[in-house]
Structure formats: structure tokens, C-alpha cells
Amino acid sequence: MNVAVICRILGVALEVEAAFMAPALGISLYKNEWGAVAGFSATMALLLLCGVILRRIKVTRTEYYAREGFVTVGLTWLVLSLFGALPLYMSHAVPSYVDCFFEIVSGFTTTGASVIAAVEDLPMGILYWRSFTNWLGGMGVLVFVLSVSNITDNSGDALHLLRAESPGVKVGKLVPRMQRSTKILYMIYIAISVLMFLLLVVDMPVFDALTAVFATGGTGGFSVKNLGMAVYSTYSQIVMTVFMLLFSVNFTVYYLILVRRFRTAFRNEELWTFAGVYAACVAVITWNILPQCESLSTALHHSSFTVASIISTTGFSITDFDLWPWLSKTVLVILMFCGACAGSTGGGVKVVRVVLMFKYIKRGVRRAIHPKEVDIIHMDGEVVEDETMDSVAVFLLVYLVLFIGMLLLLALEGLDFTTTFSGLAACLNNIGPALGKAGPALNYNCFSWFGKIILSFAMLFGRLEVYPMLMLFIPSAWKK
């Protein structure tokens, strides 16, 4: 394990986090929020000090492999969350450090689960930082670092980081140079975010529009209002619905459209499956909740917004869907596990894995009937290698074992099964609101400090797709 290189990358990430806290510090100064000013100032100083120390560690070996990439990503996200929670704690905005850690992990992992009931009572600087972690975590902290600096010596090393941090089955370079690839990703991300802001700011206050963009772009779901997105107009809610879906699409599709490879872009099987699942779920839930709504348009609006929120793993709510019939709630829980497209800012196991596993099952059944038949799996007109299918199957198995293990630990809390199961599903899949005592009208304060720590790690495991965090707990991964 090349610890020196890992420390160097971690040092750069800490300095970047300090820089990103500067706007929140400026807002706190402007609003005379002196507790928040002290919290941000002290945290930024500590981040810069640690960053400088880590970057001064001498690198004697240049070897950097996939194992280092996984460990670097897992360690960086954990450390950034530990430091990112300090402004909330030091400003006394949130009295418990465990609650602060849970809140910021929820932000960075774009989960949107909260333990704060009255968010409108928080200082504006804290609200900005809390929302900005959604946007920053959406594309990935290290993806940004890779786009603005030569943090590693070659593109192969950078690709290990990108693969470990970016969600999906396969992660590659859009163009030959890795730094340019990450810049393209972030430019697309920024462009869509700016477009959304321009559409929202005509109907919402500037600060509300900005934080809504942060939460939607990262599919994070944090709101600056106690009642969530229900306080805004139908127009703003429709805009959010559209952009939650746009941010759920693989960003490679947008790149292909930009370079006018339309045929390749719209041949994406995952994209059409995602659209079909969304449309089908909206139709089912609209029909199911229609008796509870005053009109068909209201039922359609509520279902389209909520399904977009859950399948994109954003976690916004404009109504308490915990009061919906069990059919609708069951559909939403299934969507929690399905999630968005690979290569997007969304969470879940990803639509492409679900598609591939159904094809894998279909091939298994056909082979049982016709043992001598050669059946090859295709995706987007290309052959899917057995190695890729094995990685998908192993990921889903590890994911299932992890879910069961964490569910058993959360069972020690003594809460009802609906709250425990849906709460873990919502955190592991980076959704946010769950059912029961952790429903959209409530928060995660029903869990003890122990439960919040378990759920915090569930969010990290889910956002980084298991392996980077798992590496931190495997002793052999740290050996030379």
C-alpha cells in the first residue's frame, strides 16, 4: 500500500474542502452569524494545516494501483465528512457531533436524510454549506480535484480514483486525457445546474433557488424549508421533476449528444429502461392514489414528482407519501433499490445492473432448457463479457450481505420493522426519507446515536458502491 501517495491526495482534498467553505463563511459574515463564522474559520484553518502537513510527506514510490484507488476514495470521503461536520458542531447549530456527522455524511453522499426538524432555524451560512455538500458530492469530490489539478503522475492512476468514486458497472475516459474527461463531466454538470437555476429564480428567492439546484443537481434532497418542497409553486415543482430526471441520466449520454453522436446516445438501453420504469410507476401510483386526491391532475402531479424523487434518489417530498396505499409505498421501496442510471449523480444499485441481472437470469433459464445452446448477453448492441456479468453478480451479492448485516444491527434499536427496513434502504441507496417514524413528514431522530452511526456508514457504503469503504476494514488491503 502506497500510503505516502494516499496522504498526498488526501491533503489536496482537505485544502479543496477548505476552499469550498469560503462562500459559507462569507454568507455568515454578511448575516452577522458569529457562531457560524467561528465554526467555519476554525475548521478552514484546521483543514489547511492538515492539508499542508499531508502534502509535505515525501513520496518514495510511484506505484499506485486499484487497491490504492479504492482506499484513497473511501478514506477521503470519511475524513471530509468528519471535518465537514465541524462547522455545524462548533457553531452550536447542532448540539450533538454524531448528529452533525450524520447530517454532513447525508449531504456528501447525496442522501438527504436529516435529523434536524427545524432547518429554518439554522444560520444561513450553515444552510448553504449543508446544501452545497449535496452538489459537491453528486459528481464526486475527487472528480473535481482531478479536473483542476495534476494530483497524480499519470492518467492511469487518476483512472483508478475515477473508477472507485464514480458509480456504475464500467467507468472509462470520455477522451484520451483523464484530466480533460473529468473537466467535461463537470462542465456538463455545471451547465445543467445553471440552466435549472435560471428556470427557478424567476419563481423563487435567489437563495432558495440556489440551494434547490444544489440539492437537485446532486440528487441530494436537502431543503432549506421545514415543509420541504411543498412550499413552492407547481411551476417550481415541475421544473424540479424534470431536472431530477435529467440528473439521473448517465452523463456519457449528454457527452455523446454534444459531439453529435445521436444514434449512439439514443441507443442506450439503460436510458430507455429508466424512462419506461418511470412512466409505468407514475401510471400505477396515479391510479392507486386517485381516490385520495381532489383531481386527476393533482394525483398525476404528486405521483410524477414523488416517483422522480425516489428513482433519482433525490428524496424531495411535496406530500406525505407514507399516507399512500400500500401498493404505492411498495412501488416506491422497490424504486429505492433500483435507483438511477450508472454514471449519473443518482444512487441505488443502478438500472443497468438490474437490466443485466434480468438478462443473466434469462440466460440461466435458457441454458437449463438447452444446455448446449450458446447464449451471449448483449447491451447497447455490444457483447457483455462474462467478467462484467460476474462483477455485477458479486456486487449484488455483497450488497445483499451488507444490507442484511446492517439490518440486524439496526434491529437492536427496537424500532418497528417498517421504520428499520425502509430507513436502512433509504440510507444505503442514498434516498433520504423513508417510511414509518423516518417518513417524509418526520426525520431520523427516532434512531439512537448507535443507529445514526450505522446509517451514516450505510450512506457512505451506498454512495461509493461498497468496495472503497469495505477496503478500509480489510487488514490485508493495507499490506505492502
At 50-102, the pLDDT tens digits run 999 988 887 777 666 677 778 888 888 999 999 999 999 999 888 899 999 99
Of 33-47, 447-461, 462-476, which gets the smallest average pLDDT? Answer: 462-476
Written as nine digits, the cell of 63 is 506505484
Tens of pLDDT along 117-155?
889 899 999 999 999 999 988 877 767 666 555 555 454
The whole-number pLDDT of residue 129 equals 94
| Alpha-carbon gap, residue 194 to 198, rounded angstroms | 6
A 10 A CB-CB count for 390 gives 11
The whole-number pLDDT of residue 300 equals 95
The whole-number pLDDT of residue 177 equals 53
The whole-number pLDDT of residue 155 equals 45
- For residues 302-326, give the mean pLDDT: 92
Residues ≥6 apart with Cβ < 8 Å to 42: 86, 90
| Alpha-carbon gap, residue 383 to 393, rounded angstroms | 17
The whole-number pLDDT of residue 150 equals 57
The whole-number pLDDT of residue 175 equals 47
Between 12 and 156, residue with greater pLDDT: 12
**Residue 255, pLDDT above cutoff 80:** yes
**Residue 473, pLDDT above cutoff 70:** yes
The whole-number pLDDT of residue 290 equals 93
pTM of the predicted structure, to 2 decimals? 0.89
Can you tell me whether residue 2 is helix, strand or coil?
coil
Task: Return the H-helix or E-strand segment holding 379.
Answer: strand 378-379
The whole-number pLDDT of residue 185 equals 81
Q: DSSP states of 240-278 as a string?
A: HHHHHHHTTS-HHHHHHHHTT-HHHHTT-HHHHHHHHHH
Task: Return the H-helix or E-strand segment holding 165.
Answer: helix 155-165
- For residues 235-261, give the mean pLDDT: 91
Question: Cβ(124)–Cβ(31) under 8 Å?
Answer: yes
**Residue 334, pLDDT above cutoff 80:** yes
What is the chain's Cα-based Rg?
A: 22
Per cent of the chain over pLDDT 90 is 47
Of 48-52, 180-184, 243-247, 450-454, which gets the smallest average pLDDT? Answer: 180-184
Tens of pLDDT along 356-413?
888 888 888 888 888 877 778 888 778 888 888 888 888 889 999 999 999 999 999 9
Per cent of the chain over pLDDT 70 is 90
DSSP 475: G
pLDDT band at residue 169, thresholds of 50, 70 and 90? low
**Residue 114, pLDDT above cutoff 60:** yes
| Alpha-carbon gap, residue 111 to 105, rounded angstroms | 8
Between 458 and 348, residue with greater pLDDT: 458
DSSP 476: G
The whole-number pLDDT of residue 440 equals 86
How does the average pLDDT of the chain come out, rounded?
86
**Residue 427, pLDDT above cutoff 90:** yes
Tens of pLDDT along 175-212?
445 566 777 888 888 999 999 999 999 999 999 999 99
**Residue 279, pLDDT above cutoff 90:** yes
